Each structure stands twice: as structure tokens, then as C-alpha cells.
Amino acid sequence: QRVNVTVRSGLPMVLAGSAEPCAQLHVSSIGVVGSAEQNRRHSARFFDVLTAQLGLSPERIIIRFYPLEPWQIGKNGTVVTFL
């Protein structure tokens, strides 16, 4: 219920000046990605999965963390603040 994943493959992308295969992961969450220490742990786990599943080196992967507030997410006709 709390995780949504969208995969868009085949998009042109340049990372560190190279168009070699790469991946970008955007992670947004309420109360889970709000600090450097939290994101350090999440990053390690995501890199483990992404390098294993995609066969990419860590240098070809970038992760962006976006902390959200409950009022920024609409769900069931309201916002998470009221759920």
C-alpha cells in the first residue's frame, strides 16, 4: 500500500557524460526519507537490488530522495493528512 513503482525503460539518458546503460531511481515517501542517515541505509539496499537485477555498476545508477508531507499526497478523495 505504501510503495508504488513505475518503470520506464528505453528512455534516452546521459549520466556523468556517458550514454551507456544507466538507471535513475526516484524515491518519495512520507516520514521515511527525511534524513541523511535514513537515506544512506535506503541507498545501500536499493543499490544492492539495482546492481543485481539490472547488471549495472553502482557508478551508472543515481537515486533521488524526495521527502513528502502528508498534505502533499492525495488518496481516496482526500489527502493523507486526514486518513
* Domain 29-82: CATH class, spelled out: alpha beta
Alpha-helical (H) ranges within 1-70 are 36-54
Amino acid at 53: Q
Cα Rg of the chain, angstroms: 15
CA atoms within 13 A on the CB side of 19: 3
Q: What would the pLDDT profile of 11-40 be if each residue is shown by its tens digit?
A: 999 999 999 999 999 999 998 998 999 999
**In the chain, what is the straight-line distance between the N-terminal and C-terminal CA atoms, in Å?**
13
In this prediction, residue 6 carries a pLDDT of 84
Q: What is the mean pLDDT of the chain?
A: 93
Residues in the chain: 83
Helix (H) / strand (E) containing 21: none
pLDDT reading at 3 higher than 90 = no
In this prediction, residue 20 carries a pLDDT of 96
pTM for the full predicted model = 0.86
